[in-house]
Structure 1
């Protein structure tokens, strides 16, 4: 999630160079080339069942394709402040969906971590509003009839991201993290190809500088390969509800990259938001006293 937040912040220059759907198509295409050798089925892995194929499609459609569209167009119709507050619900949505669909038991401490995560990012959104971020005025400029649609799209983005975590947990039970990463990226490439080809036909690639191409390669490898593999590897041994709390690190790392690399200022309220959010991660992930006792008994004398 730290790496995700970093490439989200650093991808802003790319969004100014490439149309969004063309950028997505190029990203999936570069990722597909980099992960060709990950598509091969290991000898120890079972053949893909019809149910697993459906889950792979849903993982890519919801977590890669639909999430991007809902997020981008939702922010355009409402404000960045509203987006921050609504997206803070991702950890809670992951916990609820994992309880409903995976029958995971969600301990009270994880619920407390979810509350801290939501509170921390809520404070972060409020702090952005207080210092008058450029996105704060978008809502006022948008037509009232479209603001509710923007908020609804952002809620859909939250559900898409939560579904991505829950479905990913289900897939790690039968597939390796590498193969999951390669297969869902291939679906993302297929879904974005029609719009990507149409936009590529009309786009002037000669006007793109070398720096933008290098940044695009980093963005593609980080977004399609490294982060997905790390996430799926972690999900093999961590409950989805607990993993969902780590999504709080996405906006935190994005803001820190903005401060360090883009020269943005960090207010006292933003620092408080980070502290509360990180407290939530600690609450949800530190071993319980029972786990410490079991671990102590398991150590050699």
Structure 2
């Protein structure tokens, strides 16, 4: 999630060079070329069932395609305050969906971690709002807020479906297949936009940034997320999505020259406390682990 937030922040210059859907198409194409060898089915893995194929499509459609469109378009239409507050709901949305669809028991400590995460990013959003000009809001801010709520649900669905998939498929194969679906979904738009796009006018630095963005967004982060989901409940993993807006803000401060004040530092502390609450083993768990080793 830290890496996701980093490439989201660093992809801002790319969005100024490439149209959003062309950028998405190039991302999936470059990422797919880098992991063609991950598509091969291992000998110990069962053939894809109809349900697994359906889940793989939904994972890509919701987590890759719709999330990107909702997030980028939503942020353009609304204010930084609204975007930060709404995206702070991702951990809670993951916990609720995992309880509803995976029948996971969400421990009180995880709910407390979710609450800290939401409060921390809410404070961060309010702090960022102090820098935002009043002119950021548009007459379509309500639509932007709805799109951001859609992005929250897409990201939460991505975590829950990913947990389901890791029960039958390996992380590398999941990563490669959902990227292939993303490439298929964006190809009609990508080809149409590429027809009139002046690729010769793209500077070399943008191509290097595109390479990093493609490998990070399509390959590295997805593989790390799916690997972690194999051994961590979805509700607990969802708390880590708090690191997405945190790392994006830190990259903005360190690489893009934005200001960091006391309220932002308090927000980071609360959010990280939420992660610790949800992930550090309890005393009972440590005692059980020690007993099992003996």
C-alpha displacement of 1:205? 0.4
The alignment status of 1:262 with 2:256, answered yes or no, reads yes
The alignment status of 1:150 with 2:148, answered yes or no, reads no
Q: Distance in 2 between matches of 1:186 and 1:44?
A: 22
Give runs of aligned pairs for residues 65-80 of structure 1, distance below 5 A.
65-80=65-80
C-alpha displacement of 1:253? 0.9
Q: Distance in 2 between matches of 1:88 and 1:137?
A: 23
The alignment status of 1:292 with 2:292, answered yes or no, reads no
Q: Distance in 2 between matches of 1:260 and 1:152?
A: 30
Q: Distance in 1 between matches of 2:183 and 2:291?
A: 49
The alignment status of 1:133 with 2:127, answered yes or no, reads no
Picking from 197, 201, 205, the partner of 1:207 is 201
| CA deviation vs aligned residue, 1:108-147 (integer Å, no higher than 9, x gap) | 00000000000000000000112x225x5322xx22xx32
Please name the residue that 2:7 is paired with. 7
| CA deviation vs aligned residue, 1:260-283 (integer Å, no higher than 9, x gap) | 112211010000000000000000
Q: Distance in 1 between matches of 2:102 and 2:135?
A: 40
TM-score, structure 2 as length reference: 0.98
C-alpha displacement of 1:149? 2.0
Q: Distance in 1 between matches of 2:71 and 2:205?
A: 26
C-alpha displacement of 1:76? 2.3
Q: CA RMSD in A?
A: 1.0
Give structure 1 stretches of 5+ with no counterpart.
Answer: none
Please name the residue that 2:105 is paired with. 105
Q: Distance in 1 between matches of 2:214 and 2:222?
A: 11
Give structure 2 stretches of 5+ with no counterpart.
Answer: none
Q: Distance in 2 between matches of 1:138 and 1:290?
A: 50
| CA deviation vs aligned residue, 1:80-114 (integer Å, no higher than 9, x gap) | 21011001000000000000000000000000000
Please name the residue that 2:180 is paired with. 186
Give runs of aligned pairs for residues 23-102 of structure 1, distance below 5 A.
23-102=23-102
Q: Distance in 2 between matches of 1:287 and 1:204?
A: 54
Q: Distance in 1 between matches of 2:202 and 2:141?
A: 34
C-alpha displacement of 1:161? 0.3
Higher alpha-carbon deviation: 114-123 or 149-158: 149-158
Q: Distance in 1 between matches of 2:148 and 2:257?
A: 28
C-alpha displacement of 1:153? 1.2
TM-score, structure 1 as length reference: 0.96
Query: 1:47 is paired with a residue of what secondary structure?
Result: coil
Q: Distance in 1 between matches of 2:23 and 2:239?
A: 29
Q: Distance in 1 between matches of 2:147 and 2:129?
A: 21
Q: Distance in 1 between matches of 2:248 and 2:255?
A: 10
Q: Distance in 2 between matches of 1:85 and 1:10?
A: 21
Q: Distance in 2 between matches of 1:83 and 1:211?
A: 29
Q: Distance in 1 between matches of 2:79 and 2:36?
A: 39
C-alpha displacement of 1:75? 1.8
Q: Distance in 1 between matches of 2:80 and 2:208?
A: 28
Q: Distance in 1 between matches of 2:216 and 2:28?
A: 11
Picking from 164, 171, 177, the partner of 1:177 is 171
Picking from 196, 212, 225, the partner of 1:231 is 225
C-alpha displacement of 1:255? 1.1
